[in-house]
Structure 1
Amino acid sequence: MKKKIIISIVAIFVIFIGFTVTKTLLAKSKQPTAKQQTHTLDENRIINNLSSAVKIKTISYENRDQIDYSEFDKFIRFLAETYPLVHENLSLERINEYSLIYRWEGTNPKARPIGLAAHYDVVPVLKGTENDWEEEAFSGTITEEFVWGRGTLDDKVGVIGILEAAEQLVKEGYQPPQDIYLLFGHDEEIGGDEGAAKITDYLNEQNIQLAYVMDEGGAIVTNMVPGIKAPVGVIGVAEKGMADVTLTTTGSGGHSSQPATITNVGRISKAIAKLEEQQFKAHFDGPTKELFEFVAPEMSFGYKYVFENTWLFQPVITKILLGKPATAAVMRSTIAPTIFHAGEKANVLPEKAQANINVRVMPQDTLESLQKDIEKIIDDEAIDVTVEGNEASPVSSTSNGAFQAIQQAARDTYPDAIIAPYIMIAGSDAKHYARAADDTYRFLPIMMEEDGLQKMHGTNERITKDAMIKAVAFYMTLLQETK
């Protein structure tokens, strides 16, 4: 009897191993075969035009009264002078004076129109860091390897890349089958409410529904996914929402020599500690699950075995991903205490304490569900909880022609890269364009330096010349790929 039990256990184990290994070995790649690009590009022209664009100080400030709109007018004039064929052959509509819609008329009126989006405003240089730049922030300096300055990564690279592609294709006599809309916002860095949002209002008023819009977002990076040595390009199929949670408590103040057992400051501090300790529920589904479905077939065998059998290893995977801030952010809505208000004098207990917590919201969560979770976690009726903000954007398809066209163009441009969907943890104008498009995607077609994300809004923003050239090649390919 004992022998039969052992034999049965061994048999089950062998079947189990056979099943999971076979499943791993039979996993099919989700990467399209890269096709050779044959574009003719004037590389010096492209680099010099990006450099010139960077020199124009189209800076967005939270206080709009500080914005120098003469620089925005200067940028728009620069585009007209630099891309004459685009301006001769595409119609141009100015929205709210400074945002731009170019319409490239297609040959087939029944074909669904698409949109390529970018923004040309940039963030200011943090005061006190000006001398930390290796090259002045608005110099547009061109060195042997780089173009330097604000906007080289975020997001004049997109505006110039798209227009360079369009200019070249018009020069070659290309005309798209469907209408192409080039959408350039002027205030993305401060929310896009006067730019992309108004562009979307215009599209809605004209009854223009786009098959898809592709905006900035994910890029091609190295050392992103364990078990993969190749670069990985991530296409945002959704972006997290952003909400501000306010915790408020009031009560008697008094002299600090006779404090209550728990003070207003202590009460709010305790609530924040509970939130940080417990966190929100993790989700291994939606765009995060799709990310690993796309990259798993390309992993080394050990990792591939784990990620091709998530039904078995999901608890382990979740624990590993939650161990690092970067991967935890694609698994759950995040909690970031950012502001605390309480007290004015060192020896006086404040009668009111208030804290702000910035939350980046996963598509699986709502503002209502998050408020209920917060109230349950802190478990303190003396604290008033308010939640205001935006929920996550709709999740776009990865099985349609739009995603496939973007993925194909990325593979054609970077044949060694693995291209996959993901949830974008930052914000973009795409959240506005979602009101006028069936699907929205977020992808900046450049190979990012390892510290590129820090440079994007920080010191020494720059782009390699090769990445800029390939961005133009990508946009040309995409315009010709989409049917």
Structure 2
Amino acid sequence: MGSKSEPPTLPSNANAPQRPKRARLSLVLAAVLLTAFIRFSFVLAPLINHSFRRSCGFASVSTANVCPQPAPLSPSTNAAVWSNLTALHRTPAFHARAVAQLSAAVQIPTETFDSMGPVGEDPRWASRGPFVDHLTSAFPRVHANLALQKVNTYGLIYTWQGSDATLKPLLLMGHYDVVPVAPLSADEWTFPAYSGHFDGENIWGRGSSDDKSGVIGILTSVESLLEAGFAPTRTVILSFGFDEEAGGYHVRSSPFPILRLYFLSFCVSRFALASLFALFPFFSARFLRSSGDATHDTRCQGDLRCLPAPLSSSTRRRHGMGSLARDPFRRWSSTSRTTYSTGGKDLVFCPAVTTLARIRFPPSCPCWIPDGDGDASQLSLFLPPLIMTLDADRFGPDSFAMIVDEGAGFTSTFGAIVASPGIAEKGGVNLVVEVQTPGEGLWRGGEAGHGAVPVPPAHTSIGILAALIVHMEANAPVPKLETDTPAFNMAACFAVHAPDVPHKLKRAILRAPKSEKARKRAEDMLLTDPMIRALVGTTQAVDIVSGGVKSNALPEQAMALVNHRIATQSSVNATLTRDANLLLPLAERFNLSVTAFGEALTPSAAAYGTLELSAPQPLEPAPITPSGSGAKPYELLAGTIREVFRVARTGVEDIVVAPGLMTGNTDTRYNWELSKHIFRYGHGNMITGGLGGIHTVNEHIKADAFVEMITFFTTLILNADEAEL
């Protein structure tokens, strides 16, 4: 047999090849690196990723402090009064009463036109008389318990004196004048414009929404509170203008320069300088008579230069609200000296006495009254009501806790119901662009005259003006979304509280304050909406153009008026400077000399024509009312809005209060110094057509919406009475 083979042997550690020492070290190092990578993935990578995302604008943002919503606020001390009145407001009897009050007010036309003469001379002002008389009979308790002061005949100030004089008053404002009804559109109304017709749901007529509903709503609230036996702790002042639709400007001179003359004359007479006292009727009468002319300021300088310098400063002419808003003592003292003390003789005498010793009449100034040069009898229209306001503590700077005037209401947007009280107003200025060129061209067939044929120049004044207009419209101001503005804050409020805001837009808005890329994305998305563009930036609109008088006569001048609504972050000066810089190169191309706002911008060398820019009565953007956390007046208003919305309906989702922005201007423009807390809000229901036809045909308001406005004013008065403001 053959020999047996050996079985195979398995490898063992004993005979395994030995790894080099370097290989073992490599394995250890790999294990260490793997462990470090795992730790990096779970610990360091998120931090680096967060830093990267933050630098790119992708970091998550806390919304806890973005547009916080105050809790609904109802009165506590006056809870019983409030509960009874809100229950009363839901009754059919009160509903019918409210409808009747507003309907009767609408039936009294109080139209305001742009070119109205002085009160007492222009008969169109007389329409206010029946309306004021109607208020007296319609609200007997108001007129029995509140002090009424009339300013310039038809301006109304009601004072409901509170028991605690140390508390700053609440000021509620409105206006009872309306825009005219165009005769050509009268037959387009569903019901006659001044019928005040109630169809069971809506009250129809001019002023039903703007703003007789506000005036009647406030007065009805006060009347009901008086009926309930309420007596305020905090003084409440009601201020109703009669010319808001024309801007609140009076075609008669402001009474304040006349009051300064009055005070000076009074002081002079007290110091036995009787001969100078006679100057008062002369100067004041001349001032009044010259006020009908737009150039009255320069016409009066010849008279006013005879007085000390502080008295020669002119004051913008105003209608009722301009007069209502200005305290003559404050105006007087501010032009005479920098400080004053309240009360006592210092109130009248000291500001004027400091200038008496320096009076020096120039030789050319006639210090006597020419025969037959008028009298000062018209002062009776101004002095009695205005002298009543000579209490600096009452109408001095920051003397009101808060001011509420007409404004926005609430509506549905992006899936949320949002109320937007205006905390700011855009500014405004009308740029007047006037081109003058020679009215003669080349002539054929003899000299200019009958039978001659004119050869027009390449560009008439109208043609040049057209080029300027086209240039302005091609280079309109570019809006920019800035994160420290009311417009952005309103957008941020929507982003937080409105569920239907697109996710990309919401993310961009919330990250915009810390990321320029996110801000630009939000800007690009938001500014595609024309309405938002108008809110965010300075706008311009060519509203008036005129020029030429005859088809066969070359126009010697042409004029355009360009209206700007100035962004809250801009200014009148920035807007007009931009306009002048924009038009100057084009004017030089047409060989025009340029004068902008009284300053010559081009050499005085001979030119083909002239371009003159002017801007009468500019208005800066309004100061921005505080609305953040800790702004007590805003929190009170927001809490009141939310509570009134809650009690007025059942089964409806909550309301969001977002600080808003007014593109138009209200009479609050005259009250900026009186309070840091000014709101434009009327609690109008704009969700289901509660308001409609403002400044156009078929103006109306739903009766239920009007009653809710009354509940709002009632709750606001009671809440403000208890609050620490």
TM-score (norm 2): 0.61
Shift of 1:275: 2.0
Shift of 1:297: 1.3
Q: Is the 8 A contact 1:217 1:443 kept in 2?
A: yes
Shift of 1:349: 4.5
How far apart, in 2, do the equivalents of 1:354 and 1:10 lie? 65
Map 1:231-380 to 2 at 5 A. 231-252=417-438, 254=441, 262-283=459-480, 284=482, 285-300=484-499, 302=503, 303-310=505-512, 311=515, 312-346=517-551, 349-378=554-583, 379-380=585-586
Shift of 1:137: 0.8
> Is 1:439 equivalent to 2:677 in the alignment?
yes
What is the identity, as a one-letter code, of the residue corresponding to 2:245?
E
Q: Is the 8 A contact 2:162 2:233 kept in 1?
A: yes
Higher strand share: 1
> Is 1:423 equivalent to 2:608 in the alignment?
no
**Please, which of 33, 54, 61 is the counterpart of residue 71 of structure 2?**
33
> Is 1:63 equivalent to 2:248 in the alignment?
no
What is the identity, as a one-letter code, of the residue corresponding to 1:51?
S
Gaps of 5+ in 2: 1-36, 75-81, 249-317, 331-389, 443-452, 593-610, 647-653
Q: SS of the counterpart of 2:206? A: coil
Q: Is the 8 A contact 1:21 1:305 kept in 2?
A: no
Between 323-332 and 255-264, the greater mean CA deviation after superposition: 255-264
What is the identity, as a one-letter code, of the residue corresponding to 1:290?
N
Shift of 1:170: 1.7
Between 392-401 and 21-30, the greater mean CA deviation after superposition: 21-30
**Please, which of 607, 612, 615 is the counterpart of residue 384 of structure 1?**
612
Shift of 1:217: 1.4
What is the identity, as a one-letter code, of the residue corresponding to 2:417?
P
Q: SS of the counterpart of 1:308? A: helix
Q: Is the 8 A contact 2:431 2:615 kept in 1?
A: yes
Shift of 1:467: 0.8
Map 1:16-415 to 2 at 5 A. 20=58, 22-23=60-61, 30-35=68-73, 38=83, 39=86, 40-41=88-89, 42-65=94-117, 67-192=123-248, 193-202=318-327, 205-207=390-392, 208=394, 209-223=399-413, 228-252=414-438, 254=441, 262-283=459-480, 284=482, 285-300=484-499, 302=503, 303-310=505-512, 311=515, 312-346=517-551, 349-378=554-583, 379-380=585-586, 381=588, 382=592, 383-388=611-616, 389-399=618-628, 400-415=631-646
Deviations 1:310-363 (A, max 9, x none): 234222332333333321121112110012223334455434332111111223
Gaps of 5+ in 1: none
Change beyond 3 A, Cα 1:250–1:361 = same
Change beyond 3 A, Cα 1:206–1:48 = same
Q: Is the 8 A contact 2:427 2:620 kept in 1?
A: yes
What is the identity, as a one-letter code, of the residue corresponding to 2:209?
L
What is the identity, as a one-letter code, of the residue corresponding to 1:401?
K
How far apart, in 1, do the equivalents of 2:114 and 2:436 lie? 31
**CA RMSD, 1 decimal:** 2.8
Deviations 1:205-263 (A, max 9, x none): 4322222211001221234xxxx212222111122222111223333452698665555
Look at both structures and tell me which one has the larger radius of gyration over its CA atoms: 2
Q: SS of the counterpart of 1:390? A: coil
Q: Is the 8 A contact 1:405 1:481 kept in 2?
A: yes
Q: SS of the counterpart of 1:174? A: coil
Between 260-269 and 311-320, the greater mean CA deviation after superposition: 260-269
Deviations 1:349-406 (A, max 9, x none): 4343321111112232222221221122233233433233222222222142222221
Shift of 1:478: 0.6
How far apart, in 1, do the equivalents of 2:524 and 2:172 lie? 37
What is the identity, as a one-letter code, of the residue corresponding to 2:683?
P
How far apart, in 2, do the equivalents of 1:121 and 1:263 lie? 42
Q: Is the 8 A contact 2:691 2:700 kept in 1?
A: no
Between 418-427 and 203-212, the greater mean CA deviation after superposition: 203-212
Between 260-269 and 152-161, the greater mean CA deviation after superposition: 260-269
**Please, which of 709, 712, 721 is the counterpart of residue 471 of structure 1?**
709
Change beyond 3 A, Cα 1:16–1:55 = farther
What is the identity, as a one-letter code, of the residue corresponding to 1:278?
N
Change beyond 3 A, Cα 1:454–1:9 = farther
Q: Is the 8 A contact 2:692 2:698 kept in 1?
A: no
Between 349-358 and 440-449, the greater mean CA deviation after superposition: 349-358
Shift of 1:454: 6.4
Q: Is the 8 A contact 1:398 1:421 kept in 2?
A: yes
Cross-structure match for 2:20: none
Q: SS of the counterpart of 1:110? A: coil
Change beyond 3 A, Cα 1:28–1:316 = closer
Shift of 1:190: 1.2
Q: Is the 8 A contact 1:371 1:386 kept in 2?
A: no
How far apart, in 2, do the equivalents of 1:28 and 1:362 lie? 23
How far apart, in 1, do the equivalents of 2:66 and 2:573 lie? 40
Between 173-182 and 272-281, the greater mean CA deviation after superposition: 272-281
How far apart, in 2, do the equivalents of 1:128 and 1:184 lie? 30
Map 1:6-25 to 2 at 5 A. 20=58, 22-23=60-61
Change beyond 3 A, Cα 1:349–1:376 = same
The number of equivalent residue pairs is 474
Change beyond 3 A, Cα 1:43–1:169 = same
What is the identity, as a one-letter code, of the residue corresponding to 2:219?
L
Q: Is the 8 A contact 2:543 2:561 kept in 1?
A: yes
Q: SS of the counterpart of 1:136? A: coil
